[in-house]
Chains A and B, each alone.
Chain A
Amino acid sequence: DAGVIQSPRHEVTEMGQEVTLRCKPISGHDYLFWYRQTMMRGLELLIYFNNNVPIDDSGMPEDRFSAKMPNASFSTLKIQPSEPRDSAVYFCASSPPGYSNQPQHFGDGTRLSIL
């Protein structure tokens, strides 16, 4: 079975440019999470969705960040305009439905470098 698929794997761009990260969750999973990982701050939850609806976006750093989930099989995380401090690895994860916490399945991540 296919896991969580993220694209691109690597992105290098100049500050001020728009960056779009993409994620395809595992089929049947109705929770989708976006995380950012840095050495200093570890793994931070940015936003998560349930059945395509944003549930908690309190981790989104600022208005430059936005996320959408137009359907059950696709989500995007957009940064506009990008800044060097946004450089990090961004992970998407999905989990199946359940009354209690379910294991989260992570994609391979997007390594983002803003010059």
Chain B
Amino acid sequence: GQQVMQIPQYQHVQEGEDFTTYCNSSTTLSNIQWYKQRPGGHPVFLIQLVKSGEVKKQKRLTFQFGEAKKNSSLHITATQTTDVGTYFCAGDSGGYQKVTFGIGTKLQVIP
């Protein structure tokens, strides 16, 4: 079955530093979603990428979808303590709304 691999699993950064998490799929994706889960909370949808090579920005967050639609990345510029949480990618290979979540990258920001 489809696998979605995400690295790194953990990342500690000093406040103000940049952060990037990477997602790779074993199959070509129709689209990819990104979610954020705060400690003790539930996953919250951030964005969906659909087109090959697509880049989308949300304030300090930049999301990219690879040209081959098999990988994606989330980059945070100048991290803040409010960015703390686990970031998940979720890939779909077509049909029926089902997605496969990556293991997630747990981000810790040191003030």
Q: Of the candidates A31, A48, A103, which one forms a contact with B45 in the assembled complex, judged by CB atoms under 8 Å apart?
A: A103
> Which candidate, B20-28, B57-65, B68-76, B91-99, is the interface stretch facing chain A?
B91-99
- Chain A residues with CB under 8 Å of B30's CB are 100-101
A interface residues, how many (CB within 8 angstroms): 22
Q: Which residue of B lies closest to A102 (CB)?
A: B97
- Chain A residues with CB under 8 Å of B35's CB are 104
**CB–CB A101/B99 < 8 A:** yes
**CB–CB B97/A50 < 8 A:** yes
B interface residues, how many (CB within 8 angstroms): 23
Question: In B80-111, which residues have CB < 8 Å from any A CB?
Answer: 88, 90, 92, 96-104
- Chain A residues with CB under 8 Å of B33's CB are 101, 103-104
Main secondary structure on chain A at its contact with chain B? strand
- Chain A residues with CB under 8 Å of B92's CB are 100-101
Q: Of the candidates A31, A42, A56, A106, which one forms a contact with B42 in the assembled complex, judged by CB atoms under 8 Å apart?
A: A106
B44 within 8 A of A: yes
- Chain A residues with CB under 8 Å of B104's CB are 42-43
- Chain B residues with CB under 8 Å of A56's CB are 96, 98
A64 to chain B, nearest CB (A): 22
Q: Which residue of A lies closest to B104 (CB)?
A: A42
Residue from the set B31, B42, B45, B102 with the largest chain A CB neighbour count within 10 Å: B42
Q: Of the candidates A42, A91, A101, A106, which one forms a contact with B97 in the assembled complex, judged by CB atoms under 8 Å apart?
A: A101
**CB–CB B48/A48 < 8 A:** no
> Which residues of A come within 8 Å of B, CB atoms?
31, 42-43, 45, 48, 50, 55-56, 91, 93, 95, 98, 100-109
Sampled A-B contacts (26; CB under 8 Å): A42-B102, A43-B88, A43-B104, A45-B99, A50-B97, A55-B96, A56-B96, A91-B42, A91-B43, A95-B97, A100-B31, A100-B50, A101-B31, A101-B92, A101-B97, A103-B45, A103-B48, A104-B33, A104-B43, A104-B90, A105-B45, A106-B42, A106-B43, A107-B42, A108-B42, A109-B42
